Structures are given as structure tokens and as C-alpha cells.
């Protein structure tokens, strides 16, 4: 699934283009008991309810691909009879009209979803008649494929906040009656996956609102897929490995981690050179990890062991380098470095100004000396002791010994004696 696929599906969740046929659901309390079940013809819902449920469906496809939306592969055994993929196929084919299959899905979710509190499970069934497209992505009137899918949303249900309100029947201001309110989806999935404007029966698109927790138990028990880390989890995991490798000193770890990210970031290239898609395709390698660690002063043998730990942690699903970069931290560090450079430049300029002031002061003194004395000499210290006076005839002279090729500045004019 890419951004265009997400946008294409979201366009379906509007009043004028919605074709959702049915919606089933189950309200679960904090004791994991089924309190209420519902099964509705979607287009027969009242207008206000219609829009509220449609908004929930839309928000189940919200967020960033790779962080909030993960594309998961079904293992081969889950595609065999009795597997999770086959079960979802059967539920889709039933048009949500099979109570036994619905209860099985509810039970799978209730057993695996680790949430303390009440929540609502919603299942939407839709058939999307996909129009053929030309090579430039323009739609044609002819149908190319019917994409029949299930969209499952799991929404926490919490009490509204306490407060005061107008109690009309009593004509007074009093405590507001608190209601159980359905929140935005916390988890969800789309089956089969929607890829390149079509169905991919071997995949499922999995949604997580909080990218810090991908709920691997849900992925395994409900969908039958292997765990997959979000971009946020990949970054947290990698940063933890690097920090541990550099020891307990927090400042040392922070500085080293920033340095490692800067080295890795250089391998991506500037944003002007690469698109987001191209940048996300630059995958982390063992060599890149070792190089970045060594540049921060780590011993080569230790760096090799750390890169091995990274490889073992991520396995065959090595993350893209872009997922490991904390852009805000790098930007802040770049600003600090720039400020430090400016401070250094200012210090250098101050030193130069002091030196210039000294030179101007000496020049001013020299000019004043010229006004006071008939002769003013400025010589190097080792030359001053060699100056002698001598009377030749009736005239007194200063005798300054000069070596071959020595230069003289006489009243601002350079000359060689």
C-alpha cells in the first residue's frame, strides 16, 4: 500500500461515494464480556450515525505508511484451510451474515487485545468497483476489478469528562450526565490488502494509532502474521542498542548517538537529491553500522559485535536508515554547532579587533613621537644593543650595523641597504 492507495480508499468514505453494504460490531466491557452486538445495513443508518461511523472507518486508515499502517504477509500455513487468511475469506464472503464467524473474530480480538477498559469492535463490508486506468492514471468508464474487503476497527470507549451543564428539565446548572463515548480507532486492519489499486490476497494492511506499540500479540493471534516493527519501534530499538554500547554516561551516549545518526544520514543524501520513496529504500547494513560506530571512537572489534547485535535484532527485516534518524534532534544539534561556530568567529573577530587597536595605538604613538623628536627609530630588540653614536668631523651620527640583504622601512618606504 502506498499513499495513493490510501487516498483512493479514503475517497470512498464520503456520503456521495460510500458503498459500504453492512456493518457488524460488538461492545466489550472491562471484564472482556460482550455487552452488545450490532449488525446493520450501513446505508439505512440515520444521518448523524452514518457520518460518525464513516469517520471511524476513515480514521482506521490514518497516519503514516510504515509507522501507523503496516503491510503484513500471511505465512503459507495461514493460507491453508483452517488458517487465519481462509477464515477472513469466509467472513468476507458471508457479507457479515454469519453469526458464528463474527463471534469467532470477536473472541480472537477479545483474547488478544491487551486493553484495560471498554471498547467497540466494528467490521465494515464493502465492494469497490475499480475503474480501469490508462498509463497516465486517468480513469476509464470500464470496470477492471471489484475489490471486496473487510475493514475492522477497534475503538476504546470511555466516560466523557465530568463537568457542569444546563439541566433543562430542572432549569438549573448542575453536574453533567456522563456518557460512554466511542473514541478514535486504536487498532484495525484491512483485508485483503489494497496494493496498486487492487487486492493482494497474500497480505493484510494493519493499522496502529500509537506507533510506539505495534501489539505483536494481536498480529500473531488475530491475523496469524509474523510481528513487524513500526518505524518508531525500529528507531527506539536501534537507539537503545547504540546507547548501551557506549556505556552508562548519558552525555557520552547522547553525543555518540547523534554522531552515529549524522554518519548514517549522509548515506541517504540530501532531500533535494532523493524523493521520500527513494530515501526510504536506503536500507541499513552491517558495514554502515560499523563505520558510524568507529567514527565515534568505538573500537573496531566492539563495533563489529554491536553491528552483529543489530543484525540479530532486526533479522531479515533490516530497517531503512531514514526510519532510524531523529530529524528534530539532528536539526537541534546542527543549530547548536552553528551557534558554537558563530561564537568562535566572534571570538576570533574580537581578537583581531584588539590586535588592530594595538597596532593603531602604536601607530598613533609613533606619529606623536615624530612630532616630538627629530629622529624616531623602531628596530628589532636584538638590533637595538648594536646601535652606536659616532662623530665624524664636526657631525654626530648614529651607526646601525646592517647585514647583507636586510631591509629598512624609512618613513613608510621599504628599501634595501
Q: Are 260 and 238 contacting, i.e. CB atoms less than 8 angstroms apart?
A: no
Of 203, 228, 253, the residue at which a domain comes to its end is 228
pLDDT at 412 over 70: no
In a domain, 347, yes or no: no
pLDDT of 214 reads 93
Are 416 and 400 in the same domain?
Answer: yes
Are 158 and 125 in the same domain?
Answer: yes
Residues 125-166 pLDDT 10s: 999 888 766 555 555 556 578 899 999 999 999 998 888 888
Are 395 and 249 in the same domain?
Answer: no
List the beta bridge partners of residue 416.
Answer: 407
Pairing of strands 199-200, 180-182: unpaired
pLDDT at 52 over 60: yes
Are 14 and 88 in the same domain?
Answer: yes
pLDDT at 266 over 80: yes
Share of the chain above pLDDT 90, in %: 47
Of 228, 253, 277, the residue at which a domain comes to its end is 228
In a domain, 406, yes or no: yes
Number of domains in the chain: 3
Are 135 and 13 in the same domain?
Answer: yes
Average pLDDT of the residues in 221-235 = 94
In a domain, 363, yes or no: no
Are 105 and 201 in the same domain?
Answer: yes
Are 26 and 84 in the same domain?
Answer: yes
> Which is more confident, 11 or 273?
11
In a domain, 344, yes or no: no
Are 94 and 192 in the same domain?
Answer: yes
pLDDT of 271 reads 43
Of 184, 212, 228, the residue at which a domain comes to its end is 228
pLDDT at 372 over 90: no
Are 214 and 262 in the same domain?
Answer: no
What CA–CA distance (Å, rounded) separates 191 from 57? Answer: 13
Are 97 and 222 in the same domain?
Answer: yes
pLDDT at 218 over 50: yes
Are 161 and 287 in the same domain?
Answer: no
Domain extent, residue 259, equals 233-325
Q: Are 185 and 59 contacting, i.e. CB atoms less than 8 angstroms apart?
A: yes
Average pLDDT of the residues in 307-311 = 92
Across all residues in the chain, what is the average pLDDT?
87
Angle between helices 286-295 and 300-314 (to 10 degrees): 140
Whole-model pTM? Answer: 0.75
In a domain, 333, yes or no: no
In a domain, 195, yes or no: yes
The 10 Å Cβ neighbour count of residue 300 is 10
Are 212 and 134 in the same domain?
Answer: yes
pLDDT of 135 reads 58
pLDDT of 149 reads 94
pLDDT of 134 reads 59
What CA–CA distance (Å, rounded) separates 358 from 293? Answer: 48
In a domain, 371, yes or no: no
In a domain, 133, yes or no: yes
Amino acid at each position: 500500500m502506498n499513499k495513493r492507495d490510501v487516498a483512493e480508499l479514503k475517497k470512498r468514505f464520503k456520503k456521495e461515494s460510500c458503498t459500504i453494504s453492512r456493518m457488524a460490531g460488538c461492545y466489550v466491557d472491562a471484564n472482556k464480556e460482550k455487552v452488545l452486538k450490532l449488525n446493520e445495513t450501513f446505508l439505512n443508518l440515520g444521518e448523524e450515525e452514518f457520518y460518525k461511523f464513516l469517520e471511524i472507518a476513515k480514521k482506521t486508515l490514518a497516519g503514516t505508511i510504515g509507522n501507523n499502517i503496516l503491510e503484513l504477509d500471511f505465512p503459507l500455513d495461514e493460507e491453508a484451510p483452517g488458517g487465519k487468511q481462509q477464515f477472513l475469506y469466509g467472513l468476507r464472503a458471508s457479507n457479515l451474515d454469519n453469526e458464528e464467524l463474527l463471534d469467532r473474530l470477536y473472541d480472537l480480538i477479545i483474547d488478544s487485545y491487551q486493553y484495560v477498559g471498554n471498547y467497540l469492535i466494528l467490521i465494515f463490508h464493502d465492494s469497490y468497483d475499480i475503474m480501469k486506468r490508462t498509463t497516465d492514471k486517468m480513469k476509464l468508464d470500464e470496470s477492471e476489478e471489484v475489490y471486496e474487503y473487510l475493514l475492522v476497527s477497534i475503538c476504546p470507549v470511555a466516560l466523557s469528562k465530568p463537568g457542569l451543564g444546563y439541566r433543562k428539565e430542572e432549569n438549573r446548572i448542575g453536574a453533567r450526565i456522563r456518557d460512554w463515548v466511542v473514541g478514535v480507532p486504536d487498532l484495525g486492519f484491512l483485508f485483503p490488502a489494497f496494493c496498486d489499486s487492487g487486492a493482494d490476497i497474500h497480505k493484510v494492511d494493519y493499522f496502529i494509532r500509537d506507533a510506539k506499540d505495534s501489539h505483536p500479540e494481536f498480529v500473531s493471534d488475530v491475523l496469524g502474521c509474523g510481528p513487524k516493527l513500526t518505524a518508531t519501534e525500529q528507531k527506539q530499538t536501534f537507539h537503545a542498542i547504540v546507547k548501551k554500547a557506549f556505556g552508562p554516561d548519558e552525555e557520552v551516549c547522547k553525543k555518540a548517538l547523534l554522531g552515529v545518526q549524522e554518519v548514517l544520514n549522509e548515506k541517504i543524501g540530501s532531500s533535494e537529491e532523493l524523493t521520500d520513496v527513494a530515501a526510504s529504500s536506503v536500507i541499513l547494513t552491517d558495514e554502515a553500522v560499523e563505520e558510524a560506530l568507529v567514527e565515534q571512537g568505538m573500537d573496531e572489534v566492539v563495533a563489529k559485535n554491536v553491528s552483529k547485535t543489530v543484525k540479530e535484532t532486526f533479522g531479515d527485516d533490516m530497517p531503512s536508515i531514514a526510519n532510524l534518524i531523529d530529524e528534530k534532534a539532528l536539526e537541534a544539534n546542527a543549530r547548536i554547532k552553528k551557534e558554537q561556530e558563530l561564537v568562535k568567529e566572534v571570538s576570533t573577530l574580537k581578537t583581531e579587533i584588539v590586535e588592530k587597536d594595538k597596532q593603531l595605538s602604536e601607530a598613533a604613538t609613533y606619529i606623536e613621537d615624530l612630532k616630538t623628536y627629530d629622529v624616531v627609530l623602531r628596530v628589532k630588540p636584538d638590533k637595538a644593543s648594536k646601535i652606536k653614536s659616532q662623530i665624524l668631523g664636526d657631525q654626530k651620527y648614529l651607526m646601525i650595523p646592517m647585514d647583507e640583504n636586510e631591509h629598512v622601512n624609512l618613513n613608510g618606504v621599504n628599501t634595501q641597504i
